[in-house]
Structure 1
Amino acid sequence: MRAISVRAVSASILASALALGFGAPRSLAEEPAKVSITLKDHKFSPAEPTAPAGQPIVLEVSNEDGTPAEFESKVFRVEKVIVGGGSVTINLRPLRPGRYRFFDDYHEATTEGFLVVQ
């Protein structure tokens, strides 16, 4: 009877898994897309930033106003207070193509933007 090494069996299992598409999850294999937004004079710039679909996103929001703002998005389930002159980083899961609303909760009537995922 021929002995089979553990290393050979492990390599065979790994090769089979990769051939069947069971590699590392896509979101772990890819670098996150970085999107920067600036808040100034109670307006987001850009008001409609873009990001790639199906990839994790790192959203960096800088508040150039002297007063605090509250970045909020109901769809992202995020509420972050940003002090005047400060910034926050928000990590988002991979998203499907679409247009996702965000706003400054302290000035919702005038401060709104949309993350466009394509």
Structure 2
Amino acid sequence: MTVRHALHALNRPVLLAGLLLFAALAPVHADDLPTFNLLIKAGHFVPETLEVPAGTKFRLLIKNEGPGAEEFESIELKKEKVLGPGASSFLIFQPLKPGSYKFFGDFHPETAQGRIVAR
């Protein structure tokens, strides 16, 4: 056996162990998460209240159908996302404890109010 073949054979178990470790530590894909939709329209969030399962990681898909920019912001949840008119985006939330979490839109703070309720 040549040195090259010996090194190649030695690297196979290391490569396999690395791949198994990567697979075990890989995050859950966003496609596998429960998804909840939030629409921004005319300076309002629709729906104003989103119910999500407590203790479950989830994705919030946000679409801005308004004529101007709007922001999803939650100080309690430490999340924010600005969307231009017609834009869509998403946020991933780690599992929430049961409770109510407020969010608002910075561009229309009087009307763009909502909450996420984890049950």
**Given the two structures, how large is their TM-score scaled by the length of structure 1?**
0.72
- Of Structure 1 and Structure 2, the greater helix share is in 2
Kept after mapping to 2: 8 A contact 1:33/1:52: no
- In structure 2, runs of 5+ residues without a counterpart are 1-23
Runs of at least 4 residues of structure 1 off by over 3 A? Answer: none
CA distance in 1, matches of 2:91, 2:83: 12
Q: How many residues are treated as equivalent by the alignment? A: 91
Residue type of the alignment partner of 1:50: E
- In structure 1, runs of 5+ residues without a counterpart are 1-23
Secondary structure at the residue paired with 1:105?
coil
Within a 5 Å distance, the mapping from 1:26-41 to structure 2 comes to 31-41=32-42
CA distance in 2, matches of 1:63, 1:81: 9
> Cα RMSD between the aligned structures?
1.6
Structure-2 residue corresponding to 1:100: 101
Structure-2 residue corresponding to 1:71: 72
How far residue 79 of structure 1 moved from its aligned partner, in angstroms, is: 1.7
CA distance in 2, matches of 1:35, 1:102: 15
Structure-2 residue corresponding to 1:116: 117
